[in-house]
Amino acid sequence: MLWRKKTHVVEGEEDLSLEEKRVLERKMKKILKKEEKKRLKAAGETEPKAEAPGPIAGQQALDYLTCWAENRAEWRFQKTRQTWLLQHCFDFEQISDEKFSVLLQYLEGLCGGSKDITVQKALALVEESGQAPEDKDVQQRARRARQVIQLLS
């Protein structure tokens, strides 16, 4: 069954196969969408945009970490979640102190290039903290970086 919001009669449409009708319907839908956009633009209106979803990547990564800590039988390795955790491990706004202690346990099993890059990043943060001793944010990140260096070295 074909569903149509608007029907358009095209010459010879009854001679078309079912697949050709679908293709024609898609083309007409695309044309109608373009015409609607032009009409809105001419009227000076903007097309309503869908709201961007919140920061779900961070929540998914933290859920991944929690699953690793609490339910290893259900846990599976996910590269994207680990990458997010490694990129934000020194950010106290993204990862709370409570979650950071779990992250340190997770990092014990880190190996290979991920481990090397994380140590290099931590060393750079410690070096940066020496240049800005009065900046509390930098010092807090450096404290975390020292913990990571101590753990992974």
Q: Could you report the per-residue pLDDT of 127-145, keeping only the tens digit for each?
A: 888 887 788 888 899 999 9
Q: Which has the higher per-residue pLDDT, 102 or 128? A: 102
**pLDDT (tens digit per residue) in 71-81:** 999 999 999 99
Domain of 97, in residue numbers? 57-152
- The torsion angles phi and psi of 134, rounded to 5 degrees, stand at -90, -10
In a domain, 25, yes or no: no
In a domain, 22, yes or no: no
In a domain, 107, yes or no: yes
In a domain, 134, yes or no: yes
Q: Which has the higher per-residue pLDDT, 46 or 94? A: 94
pLDDT for position 1 = 46
In a domain, 29, yes or no: no
Among 104, 99, 144, smallest CA distance to 122 is for: 144
- How many Cβ atoms are within 10 Å of 40's Cβ, its own excluded? 13
Q: How many domains does the chain have?
A: 1
